[in-house]
Structure 1
Amino acid sequence: MTPRSLSATVAVGSVVGVVPAIGVTTLLSTALAARFRLNIAATVLVSYLVQPLQLLLAIPFIRLGISFFGLGELRLTLDEMQLMFQEDWLEAISKLWMANLAGIAAWAVISVPSGAGLYFILLPLLQRVLPKAEPAGAEAATLEL
């Protein structure tokens, strides 16, 4: 892999791996890797490796989405969610569904700039670390000598 493609693969996999919707990372990373002609297996692997961050960042994305769209205060502590479900479980599901959609929207807004930033941070590092590709004829000329 070239430094450019590896940098893009890591950036796409990292950004997709933290989407605050459990169960969509494989499909989304496969689709994006196929669309941009990246290594699909490597992109999915990177998205799996960063999935612990998905759990850590879900609540901050949801809170950010709630503030972006002015959905009001939603309490997300375990006790308060249990109380919401005990009082009216249909309303609790509705509120949590809207909160999760707001979190996904906040992720979508942040994902493009953070993915681009990660790409441009990784590119010079990978250009130094990865071996330089030789031209196709250089190996044959070396063997003939």
Structure 2
Amino acid sequence: MVEESFWQRRVVTPILGQLKQGITPEKIALTLSLGSVLGVFPILGATTALCAVIAWRLKLNQPIIQLINYLMYPIHLLLLLPFYRAGETLFGQEHLPIFSITDLAHRFELDPLRFLADFGMVGVYGVVVWCLVAPPSAALLYFLLRGPIRAMSARQAKQA
């Protein structure tokens, strides 16, 4: 027997299972696209809750959206700084030293409230950029995924 790859076992097989249960290819494409976009929301720790709320509200598959969210984690980490820097640029703000522990500690010691305000705003700037990028990205992903998932569904129907 051929051993399944991680991708086959953890992504493709659950999607095929959902198709067998009658979930439409469009609903699965929406789940995958929203899970991908929400999975890069530029606030650490917020993606799981965002995915849960959106999946609940739109009646999407919770395990699949959370799986995609989990798989997006490395990309999420890579995109944090670009979101923050783009936000600072968009709002005409100086780039704060986000990854220098000594600078962070020094700024915090000087004025803890100013530190929280400054870095809180960096987060807000990143969220604004994400809000600008997320809708077209989700739409693009949805339309790119819908066709292949429809094809998987058709193959699945022929096999049944």
TM-score, normalization by structure 2: 0.74
Matched with 1:122 is 145
Q: Kindly provide the CA deviation profile for residues 42-91 of structure 1, in whole angstroms up to 9, marking residues without a partner as x.
A: 11121111112211111111111112222333233414333322433332
1:61 aligns with 2:79: no
Tell me which residue corresponds to 1:19.
41
TM-score w.r.t. the length of structure 1 is: 0.81
1:73 aligned residue (95, 112, 119): 95
The superposition leaves residues 103-127 of structure 1 with CA deviations (integer Å, 9 ceiling, x where unpaired) of 1111111111101111111111222
Which structure would you say has the larger Rg?
A: 1
* Deviation of 1:132 (Å): 4.8
For 1:102-121, list aligned pairs within 5 A.
102-121=125-144
Q: Which residue of 2 aligns with 1:87?
A: 110
Supply the AA of the counterpart residue of 1:64. A
Three-state SS of the structure 2 residue aligned to 1:130 is helix
Q: Give distance in 1, aligned partners of 2:67 and 2:129.
A: 24
State the AA in 1 paired with 2:150.
Q
Query: For the residues of structure 2 that align with 1:85 and 1:34, how far apart are their CA atoms?
Result: 39
More divergent stretch after superposition (45-54 vs 10-19): 45-54
Task: Name the CA distance, whole Å, in 2 between partners of 1:111 and 1:119.
Answer: 12
Aligned residues: 135
Unaligned runs of 5+ in 2: 1-18
Aligned sequence identity (%): 33
Q: Which runs of 4+ in 1 moved over 4 A?
A: none
Equivalent in 69, 78, 87 of residue 47 of structure 1: 69
The whole-number CA distance in structure 2 between the counterparts of 1:44 and 1:133 is 24
